[in-house]
Amino acid sequence: MPQKEKIITWWSDKEVNDLELTLLHNMFDCTNQEGVDVAYMYAKFMGKKKITSDNYPIFLRLLETGNHWVIDVLLQGNDPMTFFKAIQPNSFIISKCFEMLKNWKVGEIYPKLFLIILGILKTSYEKSCEGYKIYPLTEEDVNSLGKHLDNKKDQDSPINKAILHILDSLATISDNLPPEDKKREKVANHANNVRGKFLDKNKNLNEAIPDNLLIKGDYKKNEIQPSMVSKK
């Protein structure tokens, strides 16, 4: 005899909350129209609130959708580079930034989202040694950042300028350290190498970063527009 499915006749508040959160997180993947619509309206709601130490993970989760309509309504016209200025950088925020840089190909990050990420990293590593203590990044993290340099644009374009500034700062994380600290030295040298290859017109970025990381994409390619936003 097949086993009968157990029928739940009582749900605790925690079980209901967990189910609600699971469904909400699935919608935030923005892989279908319904999910995008929910994420957009939720971002519109959150965009009217100030980012605080109690709610910033929700803002990060909405940014992770990558959907430019969701991100625009979350920003509410604020400057992307200073969007997270009220939050003290910590390992959670920084790791989320590098995760997004790693997971998306070159060109797959909406420019305003990119500026938000760069604003966080710029603040985090302005004093590079202190930033490294908070989040000890790796050579792979440097690749995840450096791969997004756009050789078709000038070094003073907003994104290139911000990336180069961060790489320049990272190149100093081995200053005044004992020679046995090889891990930090390798990260510093690699950051300097990536920066140098981009700035040298006789060099190519793939001389510092593996070719498979430089494959290009397009953030618009599979993006779904919220149904409540009129098409232009």
Tokens describing residue 182:
């090889």
Locate 119 and state its tokens: 């604003």
The pLDDT assigned to 2 comes to 53
Structure pTM?
A: 0.88
- Alpha-carbon distance of 204 to 199, in angstroms, equals 9
Residue 6 phi/psi, 5° resolution?
A: -70, 130
For residue 80, how many other CB atoms are within 10 A of its CB?
19
User: What does the pLDDT read at residue 15?
Assistant: 78
pLDDT per residue of the chain (232 residues) written in tens, 0 to 9: 455 556 666 678 887 777 777 777 667 778 888 889 999 999 999 999 999 999 999 999 999 999 999 999 999 999 999 999 999 999 999 999 999 999 999 999 999 999 999 999 999 999 999 999 999 999 999 999 999 999 999 999 999 999 999 999 999 998 766 666 778 889 999 999 999 999 999 999 999 999 999 999 999 988 999 998 877 5
What pLDDT score was predicted for residue 20?
72
- Of the CA atoms within 13 Å of residue 68, those in its CB half-sphere come to 14
Where in the chain are the domains? Answer: 14-213
Q: Is 167 helix (H, G, I), strand (E, B) or coil?
A: helix
Residue closest to 84 by CA, chosen among 66, 98, 97: 97
Residue 172 carries which side chain, given as an amino acid letter?
Answer: T
Question: Rounded distance, CA 209 to CA 230, Å?
Answer: 41
